[in-house]
Structure 1
Amino acid sequence: MEKLKLFVQESYEEMKHKVTWPRYGELQRSSVLVLVASLIFAIVIGLIDLAFDGALGWFYDAF
């Protein structure tokens, strides 16, 4: 139990004094970047899925 208490105390001290937390503006810009990248990735995957669906539909209709 003493090890757990020591771990929690050391973790708290490290988070308070050694971790560099981002400013709100930087956090906001990063969040927007992740959102835009996710949307672009989703659109690309959707287009690939649509192309495969069309190709497989054409292939199955041919035979």
Structure 2
Amino acid sequence: MSKVTNYISEAFEELRTNVTWPEWADVQKYTVVVAVFSVVFALATAGVDKLFEEGLAAIFTVLK
């Protein structure tokens, strides 16, 4: 159990001393970029899904 405690302690120490954290303004800017990209990607995926749905429906209508 002491190995686990030691590992966690060393991990937190490394995060505190060796990691370069971004500035708060950068974090906010990147969060907005990720949110906008996620919405655009979701809309593009929904559009392609709708296109395939209507295309397959048309194919099945012709084959009926």
Matched to 2:12, the amino acid is Y
Match of 2:28 in 1: 28
Root-mean-square deviation (CA), in Å?
Answer: 1.0
Unmatched 5+ stretches in structure 2: none
CA deviation after TM superposition for structure 1 residue 4, in Å: 1.4
Match of 1:17 in 2: 17
TM-score for both structures, normalised by structure 1: 0.88
Counterparts of 1:1-63 in structure 2, within 5 Å, are: 1-63=1-63
- Any idea what SS the aligned residue of 2:54 has? helix
Spell out structure 1 runs of 4+ moving beyond 2 A.
none
Distance 2:8 2:53 in 1: 53
Identity among equivalent pairs (%): 30
Distance 1:15 1:60 in 2: 58
Matched to 1:7, the amino acid is Y
